[in-house]
Chain A
Amino acid sequence: MSERIFMTDYVYALPGLPGQYEIAKAMDGHEAVFDNNSESPFFGKLDFPEELLALIRKQDLKSMREDALAAGICSWLLMNRLDIDKDELISLPLFVATGVVIEKLFARKPKVLKYFNQALMMESTVDKNNRLSRILPPLLALETLTNAAETYAAQYGGMAGENTTFGGCSLGGFYSLKEGFDQIISGNIGRAVVGAVNLSGINSYRTFSPFFQSVDHWHESPCAVFMILESESNLKARAGLNAFELTKLEAIPTIPSLFEPQEKTFRDSILNSSSSSSLVFSGAFTDKAYELDYRACTATSSNSFSWYPSYGNLGSASVLMNLLGATHFIDTKKAETVECLDRDPYGRISKVRLKKYQL
């Protein structure tokens, strides 16, 4: 019989909630970071207090994107409270999912726009190239490094085992969860760290909005989430109690099309195959798409929840954040199991089932 796998700890950062809170704070005590009258597209923003920023080396702050900074801080907070010896740490796996990696070049840096304008108007290629290469930031290659979140998570958390960074949308979060799960099952290790970050912002909007016909009221927020997966034997050995079992991880085998419209909401067959009475769902980027999802999901389960009304889409972090939502459902609504559903921008659907730990 294969090993049972549990989620035993987590740290997350959302707009207004920078990495130090139980998930209840986000689910119960929060206010929506946007309202229906807010601009579209709308993106939330992560802010970290000075005491958390002080954890990060000044040199790193120079080249850190918002998501990479959040990864470093969340990883430090998570690993700082984990009782782990050095031998385990150097073989501790780390699997991370990331979204887009380019920040808002023009929107956030008006000066850059001005200089670009001047450079592009130059007649000769020599002058143009010279000018453009001078105004591109010196740390551009680091600022746009695709594995920056993983690297900073490792640097500030110390994990140094099997690893990767999956991209670039919500299914990447499922792949990182599945890889961590499989590493424990097949690798003779007791724990793994899985994480996901979503930068969101104008580049994410540029990248994904052309997929859809209607993009009015586009809502997306940055987010970082890191969690510990643990085997039952490891959990028992340390007499851990606060745990949630991952009883099902499934990505529906699909061949998406690059040229055809994507699924707009969850199919009935997907919803009806759930054996849980409670659902946490994600996938929508717009109010209209969320309404469709909400109607479909609440028709199946009256206990349904999505982060969308508060934060919009959480991109690559959606699947892991859904799990955090599920833990709250289990704790407060006494749900036995919770089904977490995600639909990525290509219509690929993943299902994860979470269950309260019972000895």
Chain B
Amino acid sequence: MIKERVFVLDYDLISPLGVGKKDVWENIEDQKSAEDEITNFDVDGLQIRHGCEVKNGLRQLYCNEPEQLLAAMRFDRKLELLCAVYKLMNDRLLVYLEKVESGRAGVILGLGVDVFPFELLDKDILMRLGSEMDPLLLISEQMKTWSGPLNLVLNPFDMYPIYLAEKLGLAAFQKTVLTACAASTQAFILGCQAIARREVDVVLVGGTDSILNLVGLTGFSKLGVLAESDSNPGTSCKPFDVNRKGTLAGEAAGLCLLVSEKYLDRTGGNPSFEVLGHGNTLDAYQITAPDPEAKGMIRAIENALKGSGIKPEEIDTINLHGTGTYLNDPAELLALETVFGNVLNKIPVCSTKDRHGHAIAAAGIQELVVLFECMSNNMVPSTINLTHPIGDSGADFVMGTNRRTPLNIGMSNNFSFGGINTSVVVKKINQ
């Protein structure tokens, strides 16, 4: 139950669709897909060759960071993406945060698993294979040339929110959320709850993740959730389509500054959205698949609506999780049919994963930012690879071209491996 009202004061995104929210918006408006041959590392010999990479140069954004951090970024894409998005927002955040005590400001980030960069360190591993010690242990010990909690490889999860806390003076808490595809949505929800119960006035929330590495790509490929790469980049992932065959590997980092009404009253800031409600539930079903009856998804969406105090028909658009996998999409559609019933055909819905890929722990923040931008511009993006929708629900999937329509209240859904279900409802504040 939200007590103190929660507002979105600012946000930004590093996405395969662009560096910064303006770039992202322009590419969404232009119907661009970021799917392409992966260049982060050599994918010759792998079954999956396509993904959605952030290709624009990020280094110019963070080149003034300390040497240790730059060294760690060579092996840690999540850290690089996070530093880049922080730098995009740096000046704005410093202005907002100078108006709040550090003990009343916290940070919560959704993060993906840290993997050892075999593709970057293969020669280093080979050199150490003869040793009695674990070669990975030797590398992490021998290659780090400084003291302190920042490692060169195998960085602990907490390091990422601590990086932001140290930059911005966020002392109340530095939390790390590890719930895979729902992680950054849960970070957003937990941030809202901390403000609602008046624990803090300001929370910086978001997430960073990349599965565009040898271990990530192979791991998800072997699980059968990645679409085989089409010869024509841009068409592999087909959310909610009868011909869907999997999702598209991606990466992203996004941040969003949540503030209380009290903070706004005191500082006179101009928020762009109010968070009306959220839902966060478990399937308690099984780790490998969503509950086919979608009970957890249904409760998450219902809770978000209930907390918002609005009726289903008041939702103007929904940015769906829509992974393009065999199991997720029918379960999500069933949840929508159950909650929205006969008003579902009046709400334009879309999934944008076919454009920017699945950023796993950063999926939630990426798709919230996409929703914010689309609502600000009164446009529902099309699901570009959807031509033959599954089911006969009559859901109003936006296909073919983007649709211009007034958007005041929007919903974003994310569901995770292991049956974690999240839904957020936001309302645009007309300036």
Distance of B66 from chain A, by nearest CB (Å): 7
Chain B residues near A202: list those with CB within 8 A.
134, 137
Contact B287 A63 (CB under 8 A): yes
Interface 9-mer from B152-160, B364-372, B397-405: B152-160
Q: Which listed residue, A63, A124, A154, touches B282 by the CB 8 Å rule? A: A154
The tally of CB-CB contacts under 8 A between chains A and B is: 257
Contact A145 B126 (CB under 8 A): no
Contact A133 B47 (CB under 8 A): yes
Contact B280 A167 (CB under 8 A): no
Chain A residues near B162: list those with CB within 8 A.
256, 258, 346
A340 to B285, CA, bound (A): 35
Contact B176 A166 (CB under 8 A): yes
Q: A132-B214, A168-B158, A206-B136 are in contact. Are A175 and B175 (CB under 8 A)?
A: yes
Chain B residues near A291: list those with CB within 8 A.
none
Contact A210 B140 (CB under 8 A): yes
What number of B residues sit within 8 Å (CB to CB) of A? 92
Binary contact track A104-139/B, C-beta < 8 Å → 1, others 0:
111100000100110011001111111011001111
A303: Cβ under 8 A from any B Cβ:
no
Binary contact track B18-58/A, C-beta < 8 Å → 1, others 0:
00000000000000000000000011111100000000000
Q: Which residue of A lies closest to B418 (CB)?
A: A151
Q: Which listed residue, A106, A124, A126, A160, touches B299 by the CB 8 Å rule? A: A160
A132 to B140, CA, bound (A): 21
Q: Which listed residue, A129, A140, A254, touches B44 by the CB 8 Å rule? A: A129
Chain A, range 176-227, C-beta contacts under 8 Å to B: 179, 182, 185-188, 202-203, 205-211, 213
Q: A258-B150, A260-B148 are in contact. Are A141 and B222 (CB under 8 A)?
A: yes
Chain A residues near B113: list those with CB within 8 A.
101-102, 144-146
Chain B residues near A152: list those with CB within 8 A.
287
Chain A residues near B416: list those with CB within 8 A.
147
Chain B residues near A348: list those with CB within 8 A.
174
A155 to B299, CA, bound (A): 17
Contact A139 B137 (CB under 8 A): no
A283: Cβ under 8 A from any B Cβ:
no
A162: Cβ under 8 A from any B Cβ:
yes
Contact B136 A207 (CB under 8 A): no
Chain A residues near B175: list those with CB within 8 A.
166, 172, 175
Binary contact track B63-90/A, C-beta < 8 Å → 1, others 0:
0001011000000000000000000000
Chain A residues near B44: list those with CB within 8 A.
124-126, 129
A98: Cβ under 8 A from any B Cβ:
yes
B363: Cβ under 8 A from any A Cβ:
no
A60 to B288, CA, bound (A): 9
Contact B1 A150 (CB under 8 A): no
User: Which size class do A's interface residues fall under?
Assistant: 35 or more
Q: Which listed residue, B3, B102, B149, B299, touches A345 by the CB 8 Å rule? A: B149
A113 to B130, CA, bound (A): 11
Q: Which residue of A lies closest to B291 (CB)?
A: A160
Interface 9-mer from B9-17, B163-171, B235-243, B262-270: B163-171
A158: Cβ under 8 A from any B Cβ:
yes
Distance of A60 from chain B, by nearest CB (Å): 7
Contact A164 B190 (CB under 8 A): yes
Q: A147-B420, A258-B162 are in contact. Are A164 and B186 (CB under 8 A)?
A: yes
Q: Which residue of A lies closest to B186 (CB)?
A: A164
A169: Cβ under 8 A from any B Cβ:
yes
A359: Cβ under 8 A from any B Cβ:
no
Contact B180 A147 (CB under 8 A): yes
Contact A258 B179 (CB under 8 A): no
Contact B156 A208 (CB under 8 A): yes
B394: Cβ under 8 A from any A Cβ:
no
B111: Cβ under 8 A from any A Cβ:
yes
Distance of A185 from chain B, by nearest CB (Å): 8
A7: Cβ under 8 A from any B Cβ:
no
A340 to B222, CA, bound (A): 44
B125: Cβ under 8 A from any A Cβ:
yes
Chain B residues near A185: list those with CB within 8 A.
197
Contact A147 B418 (CB under 8 A): yes
Q: Which residue of B lies closest to A126 (CB)?
A: B45
Q: A162-B281, A164-B190 are in contact. Are A142 and B163 (CB under 8 A)?
A: no
B390: Cβ under 8 A from any A Cβ:
no
Contact B172 A253 (CB under 8 A): yes
Give the top 5 A-B pairs by smallest Cβ distance, nearest first.
Answer: A151-B418, A168-B157, A146-B178, A129-B45, A126-B45
Name A's B-contacting residues (CB within 8 A).
60, 63, 90, 94, 98, 100-102, 104-107, 113, 116-117, 120-121, 124-130, 132-133, 136-142, 144-148, 150-152, 154-155, 157-169, 171-172, 175, 179, 182, 185-188, 202-203, 205-211, 213, 251, 253-262, 344-346, 348
The 9 listed contacts between A and B (C-beta, < 8 Å) are: A90-B299, A121-B126, A126-B45, A169-B156, A171-B158, A186-B197, A208-B156, A255-B166, A260-B148
Known: A102-B116, A255-B171, A259-B66. 17 other contacts (CB 8 A): A101-B178, A126-B44, A133-B45, A139-B222, A140-B222, A141-B219, A141-B417, A146-B180, A150-B418, A162-B281, A167-B157, A175-B175, A188-B1, A206-B140, A210-B140, A255-B169, A262-B148
